[in-house]
Structure formats: structure tokens, C-alpha cells
Amino acid sequence: MISFKELVRRRYVRRGAIVFAVATAALGSGVAYAAWTSSGTGNATATAATAQAPVVTGGAVTTGFLYPGAAGNAAVTVKNPNAYPVKVTTVALTPGSALECTLGFITSTPMTPIAAGATVTVEMTGAVTMGNADNSCQGKTFSIPVTVTIASA
């Protein structure tokens, strides 16, 4: 005959086992059980890569031309000098920049992927605005100072 106290103790033990099993599963099925191994000592060396800044050059737009009261397109060409793929996370007007012809620039988050060592042109639809510009601004090509940020993909 099992006593009431013993029954309660067994219930707690069973619950503990269940909780532990669930927690182990939550850690991820991809984790393998470690084997018992022997080991020695020594020095291994590894050097982390240094993240290189993107190389930014001007891009030429072929659509979405600007005119007063409207937003037009902007383009920027970005080279990824790194040995790993990246994505262009933001393109923002460089602080302190003065723009001609009443232009404005809206920060873009294109998230464009760039393979290692590759160069892409990122076109940002409607990123440039023009206020009440005068006729002398017609047909002008603008070079807008921007800061391009990339992140490892």
C-alpha cells in the first residue's frame, strides 16, 4: 500500500521530468548531444574579418524625373568590398548637406542585397522631392550627398 505522501512525491517527480523534457526540446532539435571526449591543451588562432565600408558612387536615374511639387527617383551605386553578402539598410541625406532647387531627400530603407564583391545600383522611387523651384532648375542633374549603410546579410 502506497502512502498518500508517497503518491504526492511521485507526482512532483513526474511533473519535473515533463518540464525538463519540454525545456530540452525548446532548446532546439538541432543541438546534438555532446559525446564524451578527451582533450588536450594548445593555442588556436583565428582572426575576425573587418567589416569594410561600402563604396558609394552616383547613379543615374532614367525614370521619375523631378518637377515642382512632385517627388522623383534617386539612384545610388553601391559596391560591397566585403567577402560576405550584405544588404543596403539605409540611404539617408548626409547631415549638414545643402541642396539646390528646393530639393528634399527622404531616407530610404531599400534592403537591397549585394553579393560579396558585387556592385549594384539602388533606385529609390519617390525619394527626392522638389518644392517651388524656378525654371532654371529644368533638366538639371543633381548629385545629392547621402550616407549609405550596409549590414551583413
Partner 1 sequence: MRTVIAGAAVLCLLAAQPASAAWTTSSQGPAGAKAATVTAPTGIVCTKSSGAVTWPAVAGVPTYDVWWSDKENGGGNFYGFFRVSSPSYTVTGGTPLRVKVRSVAGNWTSVQSPEQICS
Footprint on this chain of partner 1 (rule: CB under 8 A) = 12-13, 15-16, 19-20, 22-24, 26-28, 51-61, 65-70, 72-76, 89-91, 94, 101, 103, 105, 124, 127-128, 130, 132-133, 135, 137-153
Residue 84 C-beta: closest distance to partner 1, Å: 8
Query: Which CB sits closer to partner 1, 52 or 120?
Result: 52
Residue 132 C-beta: closest distance to partner 1, Å: 6
SS3 label, residue 77: strand
Residue 2 C-beta: closest distance to partner 1, Å: 19
Buried b (16+ CB within 10 A) or exposed e, 106-135: eebebebebeeeeebebbbeebbbbeebee
52 CB-contact burial (10 Å; exposed 0-12 / middle 13-18 / buried 19+): middle
